[in-house]
Amino acid sequence: MSSLSLAVRDANTMLRRNLLHARRYPSLTLNLLLTPIVLLLLFVYIFGDVMSAGMGGGHADRSAYLAYLVPGILMMTIGGTVVGAAVSVSTDMAEGIVARFRTMAIHRGSVIIGHVVGSVLQSVASVVLVGAVAVAIGFRSTDATALEWLAALGLVALVALALTWIAVGMGMVSPNAEAASNNALPLIVLPLISSAFVPLDAMPGWFRPIAEYQPFTPAIETLRGLLLGSEIGNNGWLALGWCVGLSVLGYLWTKAVFNRDPK
Amino acid sequence: MTATRTTAPSTTRTTAPVIAATGLRKSYGDKLVLDGIDLSVPQGTVFSLLGPNGAGKTTVVKILSSLVSADAGTVRVAGHDLAADPQAVRAAIGVTGQFSAVDGLITGEENMLLMADLHHLSRREGRRITAELLDRFDLKDAAKKPAATYSGGMKRRLDIAMTLVGGPRIIFLDEPTTGLDPRSRHTMWGIIRELVSGGVTVFLTTQYLEEADQLADRIAVLSDGRIAAEGSADELKRLVPGGHIRLRFTDPSAYRSAAVALREATFPRTAHPARAGGSLDDEALALQIPSDGSQRELRSLLDWLDSAGIEADELTVHTPDLDDVFFALTGGGAVPHQAEEATR
């Protein structure tokens, strides 16, 4: 077999190991799913009237706010799910099994690839699940074309990949699970201070740059545009740039740490 | 090389060494862990690296098994240069580290199948080997349970079973019996002997002298990052004084008078000047008299005891064991140079 097909085979083995972990111990993934679902219900059913009145100029329309909110919640779901990748990578690296992998004649990076692909698949599945909840409480995206749907799915996968690489890097440098989930906190906090809940122009002027110049806002605005037909503008390119940049950064970071001699 | 080194026995196997290391050096930050290690292990033998905690045993295994790189020195394993072709070395070896290298989240059987997949075995071959090894290592009943729920001995057995999936001809075992109960330890020894009888070369680290004595063809004593001595168990035992006769008393006054008599006595043969005249252990009411344990020496000692009117309640003959070697070579945090003095 060529070295590429060996690499694919080993990575596939590691992916199956990763998915087996996720299937055997779903509590971590389910816990991480809880946050976006609770926030979705909270903002729609408890704060919904105030939020929609605030945005609609005093006129309360809860379904309009629901439509605004869902793309943000979906991106937030990705941020939350990849925290699981940070945790499982740091736990894995502390285990003897990875030392064993390093002394075997296998594709060296396969264990990392298994984590990355596993995390992307889990993120996309989580987005679909949270999306289903949103549809169940009245979210509709009927105006979107099939192509826009496909683009939305691609965007979700791309954001998942970018955030996963960053999370894996965070997991690599974290000595244990607690440290990993602390280090990955920005992935949960950043969507809270993006345009997920309120539009940028509704924010205080001093805060606006913080919300504007971060990866979640362009990604959310692009998804919003694809699903609801709102103006995308530069946001598509910005989101793409962020994704590529974060992926490359996370990849190089992870590679550097992984190739370091283990203690 | 300043380490004491005995020459290999004349029965040396003619095969080239399957593990050969020269001048291994390794530091972690300011701490020098290995200070020039030379090792040579012939095929089909058990080589034991013996040393106290922190001597650098695990570091040697990590370097030889391609896990970490040495700062200096060359390593050849199974005929491949480790630095030039680590993958070829990895294909020839199996490693069982000090801390169990099993995936605790999945079952024992899944761990085995994972190894089979990583060795690119066919599905059927993987299942066959998995079933065979789980059976051989008495893990059949626990095969469907998560490895995290296994006892220490079971984890260690699973660990070795996983190492054997690829059929390695060279196996590194880093403290394979540390933390195991006596029964599990004996099971592990049986497993290791079985491997060797199948022609596998075993590189073993241990802090237990008995283990090295039981299993190893050759033993190297690692102390403060250097090989303090190397040889067969018998050769090492010859390096240090340690044989003595111990007299124990139950009556303190009998002990005291015997001690006085011993102090004034002159033996025709005091093989080990350091212990001339014997030594006392007041608490145990015991006297130690140096002796090689021969019948002649024993008789002359008994004659002397009779003539001096000493009657001990218990007399035991101690021949030197690896404990004596170990403590002489590694004792009290002594630097290797001092250990070397003691062996001269």
Following DSSP, what letter does each residue of chain A receive, concatenated?
A: --HHHHHHHHHHHHHHHHHHHHHH-THHHHHHHHHHHHHHHIIIIISHHHHHHHHTTT---HHHHHHHHHHHHHHHHHHHHHHHHHHHHHHHHHSHHHHHHHTSSS-TTHHHHHHHHHHHHHHHHHHHHHHHHHHHTT---TT--HHHHHHHHHHHHHHHHHHHHHHHHHHHH-SSHHHHHHHTTHHHHHHHTTTTSS-GGGS-TTTHHHHHSSSHHHHHHHHHHHHH----TTHHHHHHHHHHHHHHHHHHHHHHHHHSPP-
Domain co-membership, B257 together with B285? yes
Candidate from B95, B119, B146 with C-beta closest to A100: B95
- Confidence label for B147 from pLDDT (cuts 50, 70 and 90): very high
pLDDT value for B180:
81
- Confidence label for B220 from pLDDT (cuts 50, 70 and 90): very high
Q: Which of residues 2-21 of A touch B (CB under 8 A)?
A: 6, 9-10, 13, 16-17, 20-21
List phi, psi (to 5°) of A143. -75, -20
Domain co-membership, B271 together with B231? no
Report chain A residues whose CB lies below 8 A from the CB of B66: 102-103
Name the residue of chain B whose CA is nearest to A97's CA.
Answer: B101
Domain co-membership, B217 together with B306? no
Domain co-membership, B232 together with B289? no
Q: Give the structural domain span for A69.
A: 22-87+120-259
Contact B110 A102 (CB under 8 A): no
Is the pLDDT at B280 greater than 80? The verdict is: no
Q: Rounded distance, CA B209 to CA B57, Å?
A: 14
Domain co-membership, B79 together with B185? yes
Is the pLDDT at B296 greater than 50? The verdict is: yes
| CA B198, chain centre distance (Å) | 21
Report chain A residues whose CB lies below 8 A from the CB of B34: none
Percent of chain B with pLDDT over 70: 85
Domain co-membership, B297 together with B192? no
How close, in Å, is residue A74 to chain B by CA atoms? Answer: 29
Domain co-membership, B233 together with B253? no
Tokens of B232: 């067969």
Residue at which a domain ends, from B192, B220, B238: B238
Domain total of chain B: 2
- Which of B286 and A40 is assigned the larger pLDDT? A40
Per-10-residue mean pLDDT for chain A, 263 residues long?
85 95 87 91 89 74 88 95 93 88 93 96 95 93 89 96 97 93 92 91 91 94 92 92 97 93 73
Domain co-membership, B301 together with B190? no
Residues A206-236 pLDDT 10s: 999 999 999 999 999 999 999 998 888 899 9
Residues B96-117 pLDDT 10s: 887 778 999 999 999 999 999 9
pLDDT value for B87:
94
**A251 assigned to some structural domain:** yes
User: What's the ipTM?
Assistant: 0.88
Q: Rounded distance, CA B33 to CA B59, Å?
A: 8
Question: What's the maximum distance between 2 C-alpha atoms anywhere in chain A?
Answer: 67
Domain co-membership, B160 together with B222? yes
Domain co-membership, B294 together with B163? no
Domain total of chain A: 1
For residue B307, the domain's CATH number is 3.30.70
CB of A59 within 8 Å of any CB in chain B?
A: no
**B186 assigned to some structural domain:** yes
pLDDT value for B342:
35
- Confidence label for B336 from pLDDT (cuts 50, 70 and 90): very low
pLDDT value for B339:
33
pLDDT value for B99:
72
- Which of B256 and A19 is assigned the larger pLDDT? A19
Is the pLDDT at B18 greater than 50? The verdict is: yes
Q: Rounded distance, CA A224 to CA A237, Å?
A: 14
Q: Rounded distance, CA B123 to CA B139, Å?
A: 20
pLDDT value for B279:
65
pLDDT value for B1:
39
Contact B118 A99 (CB under 8 A): no
Domain co-membership, B256 together with B166? no
- Which of B27 and A61 is assigned the larger pLDDT? B27
Residues A116-159 pLDDT 10s: 999 999 999 999 999 999 999 999 987 889 999 999 999 999 99
DSSP-assigned states of every residue in B275-299: GTT-EEETTTTEEEEE----HHHHH
How close, in Å, is residue A25 to chain B by CA atoms? Answer: 8
**B293 assigned to some structural domain:** yes
pLDDT value for B328:
74
Q: Give the structural domain span for B288.
A: 244-319
List phi, psi (to 5°) of A87. -65, -45
Domain co-membership, B93 together with B185? yes
pLDDT value for A62:
81
Across residues B22-49, what is the average pLDDT? 93
CB of B105 within 8 Å of any CB in chain A?
A: yes
